[in-house]
Structure 1
Amino acid sequence: MSLLMKTKSRNTDTRVSGRSRGTEIIALSKPVGTDAQPASSAADAPVTRGGTERKNIKSGRDRHQIFLDNIQDACVEINPNGKCTFCNEAAHQMLGYSREEYMNLRHRQRYATKTEADKVLNIFKEVYHTGVPAKLFESDVRRKDGSVITMEMMISPILTGRKGIAGFRGVGRDITARKETQDILRQSEAHYRSLFEHTKAIMFLIDPDTGRFVDVNLTACSYYGYSKKEFLQKKITDINTLNEDDVRQKMLMAKSEQRSHFYFTHRLACGALRPVEVFTSPVEIGGRKLLYSIIHDITERREAEEALRHSEEKYRTIIENMQDAYFECDLSGTFIFANKAASDTMGYTPDELLKLDYRAFTRPATSKKVKEVFQHTFETGIPCTLFDYEIVLRDKTTRIHQLNVGLMRDTDGHPVGFRVVSRDVTERKRAEEELRASEEKYRSILENMTEGYFESGIRGRITFANDAACAMMGYTREQLLNIHYRQFTTPETRKRITEAYRQVYQTGLASKLGDYEIIRGDGSIRTHQLSIGLMKDAAGGKTGFRAVARDITESKQAEEALRHSEERIRVLFNNIPVPTVVWKGYKNNLILMEYNDAALQYTGGKILEAVGKTVEECYPNAPHIAADMHQCFSLQTHIEKSFWFRDGHADEKKYVTIKYAFAPPDNVIMHVNDMTAQKKAEENLKHISIHDALTGLYNRFYSDAEISRIKSSRLRPVSFIVMDLNNLKVVNDEDGHAAGDLCIKNTANLLKQAFRPEDMIARIGGDEFIIMLPLVDEETCAQALTRLKNNVAQFNLNAARPISLAAGFSTARAGDDIEALIAKADRRMYQEKARMKAVAGNEKHIP
């Protein structure tokens, strides 16, 4: 079948045949119709000329043959019937055919598809009819092995001087690799365009010469409130609050790479102003030098910095106003800061103190102890306390202090000095000595007290009575223990006592019964006063009553005149909502004489046992209370102290503020305010500051501090696991943030189960965790990770929303860079995440 249409007009032949041979692209060395001679030789070479001319023509053909066989482009000749009459060495190497095989192929067989063959055929027809070489075009060509390559081709006619077009010359070049590179480049451009458009960071491209926006991403449009079209009509000066000259200067600095980091205030579309942090650098795109900028809103950071300044000011105020002496000193022990209390205590001005060290206030033996405390704190990093050391003040007097020492570090975690809190415990020590000296004496007084003390069962039968009680009642102890209180009371008194005991039993509150008559064993009648309290066992069950009886027969008449006044004062005293106790000075001792209902309720009735006892006997485990009370009594002043206190064998400690007030002529009134709830709230606030609110794990603040501490310690080996919760965004998007929070909390619980109590587990980001395992090597760390994975797998068996974790770990030994190893663990985690994504992607294609 002929390649071209055979109906060609004479006029066309004439026009083409007259065309200059200069339009030929490549001169081929073989004819269109044969394999032996050049296409132009039959028409152009005179057959009658001599041997010299024939020799020159042959030499020219040989040169052309050598040239064509040594070029890299494929060269072929095609006759008007579509048959290949010549192909060079590059063509048969490129297509995998021998010359004979390729020259015998039909037109359709040379191309990858029928469509491609038809396209090229139409180009041949166009060249044939116009005589004009075809422009460069691309076509998919099939090689002998069946593979397809893309070639860039050019077709030109073979012109003759007499007969017009004798065939076609084609030149082709394999551009398959170039096309693949172009495809990869297009995909890469699309990828980076997608990253630019869809990243959560605000990004700009700005022309530094005009200040106009060249491109912005979707996040920028959302943040500033402009559409992309509106943005591209604006300049950077439309959103930056600086004047145009300042903005232009900043852009020139960024363009010349003098500076890449800036802080500005930007204006949103709504008019609101936002502080922003800008990172910018020059980039060249399409021959234009632009500024590529990333913008971060730092509103929350600024608010946090402001809150930090307020916090620092608050704690500075606390230090300046605290009663204890507070010092800071360098590693040599020289003071670099002292609060007002320190200056007042030592008797030096602040400037004078900063020229001294701790040795100026201590004798040699004490200096040695202080140095040992500093040395221990420096070596271990653990705060240390020195009890009861002697200091010498400026006026040469001595005081007893308690020293608390902590280590100061710089931002890199290196020790730079010490913080010291020194408390004056002189009075407490003196009170302790007095307590020990007088304990036996007060015990004897208690055993020989004149008041009668009774204990009785729930039904009123006496179970215990002291010697004074027996003497008051006129019975022996054996007789008292075998009778009921009804047997020594008058009918009127019996009713009052019964009601008092019933009220104490029902309310649990202590009660007093005054001026009741009793019948002694000898039949005489006496007037007594009675204080009743409820006795309970360890479980809180009611077991009986305690009663203190006082014979007031002789003093009744004298007291009658004061009764109304006392009653009024007593009502006021008992209705004070603050637990209040009255201590009376007696022979250098302070004796508990009275208490109000709030005190009785606060002590659970135990104060009944303390009536008549000295302060040292009442508080044997808190000698500072006695010291403070004696100080108040001796100086006739007011004192206020706050401290943690455990009452006897109580399970729970209480934080109390006690106010001591001297009451003439010889009393000290003690008001006890229970501040436990407030103190616990403060401690809870401290707990919250280092723990993650959602999971209860440590937060980033604490983990950074612990890592800094480990870096400066000798604790090795120590392993680090960096972990990321996969697909949290998908959970939040599909099921809501409550489901995402549940995934985070479930992950935290699995981490707590998998690791030891001494391991630090911290949530350092939305879905990021870090675990620090002290004294754990690589093998043990890998076992811990395996245990965690098993726990996660077991959890996922019944979980509505399975959990997927990616983790990486590393182990630090002596001399290793902690930060580098944590970064290594982070890289391993991302490698694991990528592997998991790849596996997940493959599984989706499994039928």
Structure 2
Amino acid sequence: MDSSLKLKNNLINNLSIGIVVTNQQGDILFTNKAIKEMTGYTEAEVKTMEDWYKKAYPNPKYRKKAKRFFQYDLENNIQDRTYKITTAAGNYKYFNFRYSELEAGKTLFEIIDISYRIEQKQKLENQKIIFENLFTNSLEGIALLDQDYKILNINKKFEEIFNLSKNNITDKNIFDVVTLFEKNKNIKKAMKKIRDKDNWEDQVRFKVDNQIKYCNVHIFSVENEELENLTYVAFDDITENKEKAKELKEVKERLELAVAGANIGIWDWNVENKYIHFNENWTEMIGYQDSELNNTVHTWFNLVHPEDKARVLKDIKEHLDAKNEKYFNEHRLKTKAGSWKWIRVIGKVTEVNENGNPVRMVGVHIDIDKEKRAKKENEYLSNHDELTDLYNRRYFNEEIKRLDDSRQYPISIIIGDLNKLKNINDNYGHIMGDRYLKLTAEAIKESLRTEDLVARVGGDEFAVILPETDSDAAEAVNQRILENIEKKNIVADLPEPLSIALGYETIDFNNQQNSYQNIIECYHKADKKMYEQKFAQR
């Protein structure tokens, strides 16, 4: 074996990544010792990719998903992905897999244990093609130095990190090539220590094109008979992560200010153990202090209005079952004072386990109580007569349209018109006239069932819809209204008797075809009968 190959083999033996090589048939041609240390599985236990899947993913459902992801990555040239696997000891570990296609249909896997930092150096078997692929395509920038710290070789990632060309820096001292942001004597001291089989790892800042770059730097010694001990330096560029962390911190601070200013309640639910965390805004929104509420999902659910619970559970379940992209619901929560407050909830599953089941869900609570009450009041005013508190003509007309598809036949309609309202207004004033209208509304309403509908459809005109009411029953209601009118005359101190002209008509099931037209015709017939009675009374 020539010295160059020995050098490469030594380098392979000291890299801290796991290596696996497979062929097109799924046979595992090579695994390094790091794989066994990381997983606990031996070569005898894992000879094929199928063996690996069975060991690493004992759950058939997740195993199928892992295979599908891997196939997708190969087809779409996605070179790395993180998986959660099961070790021989039954523990879970997170591995980052990087795939590379080798010659003759072989596939190289570079595997990094990201569950914790592996401190001991990993040894690789002496396969030249594996080393060349690893060195060239490593996720870390790599520099190989001689005894005087002159650069023997670098990889593409090193060129990318420091914006340098291999041709221009070979045989130059590493400290003349890269510029430290601050003087770091520890690095130079470490260079001497690693010759005694020690290693050094720390975070270092570099100046690259007048900008700061952050790198995790790992330095260790590599044995080589021909060139004596060499120095291996690995640079993991974490600049982007640093910037993101800084940006995330700023965003978090802004978000916290926004949340506090907008009085938005935030909750974080661990679905598996049913633990839920509420922020201060959430508890204060319903009048509690943090210490007064237990951090369980039952605490929250017990505060939900009984009428809203079924709908809340349905919406949550549909989101947990991935039927809806997010959880959205509006419901009432009981405040500490005992009143009910309307809350808008928006939430989303943010984490799933290896089986694809939700384990974490995060969301916000927004106080919409004033908005809900205002909307309800507006809806009420738009559908009701302000004076009598009965439904108005607009709502009555909409109800007539809804009866078009109704199966509540027979349907009866009563039309009533208050007698002599103009004379009352002229002689005693509109306040007295309003009193007559209110008394009439009360008399009609007291004569009806809860499923019946009465509306003030004109100045002195009232209309009643009686679903599932035949002609005889309609006549009885008609008579009951007149009786209640007479009762009002007895108890009310009125300058003139309260009286009303009534007319009713019924449409039965046989007339259901073209029902809307028939209902309108029924209305007009009842109206006509009312006027006939009014004329007869005069």
TM-score, normalising length from structure 2?
Answer: 0.40
Which entry has the higher C-alpha Rg, 1 or 2? Answer: 1
Structure number with the bigger relative contact order (C-alpha 8 A, sep ≥ 6) is: 2
TM-score, normalising length from structure 1?
Answer: 0.26
